[in-house]
Chain A
Amino acid sequence: MNPFVIFFAAIFTNNIALTYFLGMCPFIAVSRDIKTAYGMGVAVIFVMTLTAAITWPIYHYLLVPYNVAYLEYVAFIIVIAALVQIVEMVIERFSPTLYINMGVFLPLITVNCAILGLALFMILRDYNFIQSIMYAIGSGIGWLIVIVAMAGIRTKLIFANVPKPLQGPGITMIIAGIMALGFMGFAGIVNLQ
């Protein structure tokens, strides 16, 4: 499976937010304005790539050889949590600008199911290291595109006549559903087993 096919699929046909509906919490909460949505999306790409890069070796060189592959859930969560802490410390020290722009989102991402989902999918689909990295970057970019699009739509929605019970999360979920239908149009472009 060509890594670029995986990359492309992760953005369009198998979008982690719209096809698998993972990462919904920040997707609904942070999509209010484009600037914050963008910051959150960049943070997600960052964390996803780093997660794939670290959890892949841990699974294949630590868990599998010692017959404890079933520990993947626990091990991945611990690694993701610690990783995000480390990344936040590094960014705060070395790039205050980056920290101001996206550092605040990092703790929010720790429990994002999309990150764990990514790690588990890469094991499930038996990707090699390069494929995993491309998958991670692709998923992150796919998530970014979708949350920024959602933020754009919600900015325009301020002037629309949304019924009171649906305002906020309600209408956002409906729109997410419609966007997912839209993305279904990409189906068939690539074939991922």
Chain B
Amino acid sequence: MLSLNAIFILSAIAGGLGAALAILDRYLASYGICHVDINNGAEESFDIEGGVTILQAINANNIFIPAACGGRATCGLCKLQVLEGGGLVLPTETPFFNKQEMKQGYRLACQVKIKNDIKILIPEEYLKVQRFRTEVVAIEDMTHDTKLIRMKLIEPDTIEFKPGQFIQFEIPGTNEFRAYSIASKPSMKHFVEIIVRLVPGGLCTTYIFEELTVGQEIYITGPFGEFYWHEESDREMVCVAGGSGVAPIRSILDTMFEKNITDRKVTYFYGARAVKDLYYYHECLEYEKKFPNFKYVPALSAMDPGDKWDGETGFIHLVIDKYYDDCSDKEAYLCGPPVMIDAVIEVLRKKGMPEEYIYFDKF
């Protein structure tokens, strides 16, 4: 006869432990209401039930800061100054800060748990960031593996940004988001366009390619980014894009030519693999015809057999190397894969471009 005792005893042990865990979780893991003071008493300060991270707390109160990795302490974008109440620095945070930053109280917002009243500093431009409810109005194919997504802003219905900045795209049905550069120009203030390249196995790009439909409601947050077009400058521009890095450059060039700013010399180097990967190509050829100060230099590094191409070939940084002798009076806007950016920065440095004029966004 099966021992009933066994079942009871085991259930009693499991149940007792479960109850103990639940009670302890209730009492130990609850910290009461904590006050989060922002920018020394600014109106955005709020109260919240403790136990959540600073990032979760401020997101719940409609304040958004860049946090590309979603709380995994791998991107380091959510750096904030915590003046008081942050507690001890966790080992997951230390790789991101140097000694001076530690002294100034810099912490990763996604790692610091709010256990008591806390005082933080949030840069003004982040307080301007908003969360937009949008509707997808177009999904256009740019190449075999790249699409343009156009979203109409519903609430709020306008966006202000500088060409080159990015938004965070919330993947529906998950708590995840991914950063995408804004490919449209600021004058299209009721719309945001992004360019997405399919990454095999990628969470967001697979979602966009397989599930996203026109008419769907999407939430985006932005604008973010230290990478943007310096309109006031009159230095010659060297724009370099690789892969899906075209998006911010498209935003910059479209804005520039819409405003008829034609006295600055601009050269746009675009690195792709084969003819089938070219996009925003005919638009740039048009710009070349209309604006004598604009030069378009696409280069293919891995052509398919049968490709007809009489333009530049090889890796883009080698092409740039050929074009310039002296870059000390120019400024550069680079976006694309980290490897490409590193290689191009090397070349530009060699040609004398000052570090502070090399602007880049590594994907």
Contact = CB atoms under 8 A, between A and B. Distances in A.
- Asked whether A and B interact, the reply is yes
A83 B16 CA distance: 12
A96 B28 contact: no
Interface in A69-115: 70-71, 74-75, 78-79, 82-83, 85-86, 89-90, 92-93, 96-97, 100, 104
B13 interface: yes
B5 A62 contact: no
A34 B20 CA distance: 35
A89 B28 contact: yes
28 contacts: A58-B13, A62-B9, A62-B12, A62-B13, A63-B9, A66-B5, A66-B8, A67-B3, A67-B5, A68-B3, A68-B10, A70-B6, A75-B9, A75-B10, A78-B13, A79-B17, A82-B18, A82-B21, A85-B21, A86-B21, A86-B24, A89-B24, A89-B28, A89-B29, A90-B24, A93-B28, A96-B88, A100-B90
Given A66-B5, A89-B25, A82 B17 contact: yes
A63 B8 CA distance: 11
Contacts of A96: 87-88
Contact of A66 (B9, B88, B90): B9
A71 B10 contact: yes
Nearest to B30: A93
Interface in A49-68: 58, 62-63, 66-68
Interface in B1-48: 3, 5-6, 8-10, 12-14, 17-18, 20-21, 24-25, 28-29
Interface of B: 3, 5-6, 8-10, 12-14, 17-18, 20-21, 24-25, 28-29, 87-88, 90-91
A79 B5 CA distance: 18
Contacts of A66: 5, 8-9
A58 to B, nearest CB: 7
A70 B7 CA distance: 12
Contacts of A68: 3, 5-6, 9-10
Contacts of B90: 100
A45 to B, nearest CB: 21
Given A90-B28, A104-B91, A71 B20 contact: no
A71 B9 CA distance: 9
A97 B13 contact: no
Main secondary structure of the interface of A (DSSP, over half): helix
Contacts of A63: 9
Nearest to B92: A104
A90 B29 CA distance: 9
Contact of A71 (B6, B25, B28, B87): B6
Contacts of A85: 21
A66 B3 CA distance: 10
A73 B129 CA distance: 55
B247 to A, nearest CB: 39
A74 to B, nearest CB: 6
Interface in A114-166: none
A58 B90 CA distance: 37
A58 B12 CA distance: 11
* Residue of B5, B12, B13, B88 with most chain A CB atoms under a 10 A cut-off: B13
Contacts of A90: 24, 28
A86 B5 contact: no
Contacts of A70: 6
A6 B14 CA distance: 31
B333 to A, nearest CB: 41
Contacts of A62: 9, 12-13
A146 to B, nearest CB: 24
B14 A78 contact: yes
Nearest to A94: B28
A3 to B, nearest CB: 27
Contacts of A89: 24-25, 28-29
A66 B8 CA distance: 10
A74 B10 contact: yes
Contacts of B24: 86, 89-90
Contacts of B10: 68, 71, 74-75, 78
Nearest to A68: B6
Given A68-B10, A71-B9, A86-B21, 4 more contacts: A62-B13, A66-B9, A68-B6, A78-B17
B336 to A, nearest CB: 35
A91 to B, nearest CB: 10
Nearest to B18: A82
Contacts of A79: 13, 17
Nearest to B20: A86
Contacts of B28: 89-90, 92-93
Q: Which 8 pairs between the two chains have the least Cβ-Cβ distance?
A: A82-B17, A93-B28, A66-B5, A68-B6, A89-B28, A68-B9, A68-B5, A96-B88
A118 B185 CA distance: 67
A86 B24 CA distance: 7
A62 B5 CA distance: 10
Nearest to B31: A93
A100 B91 contact: yes
A73 B28 CA distance: 30
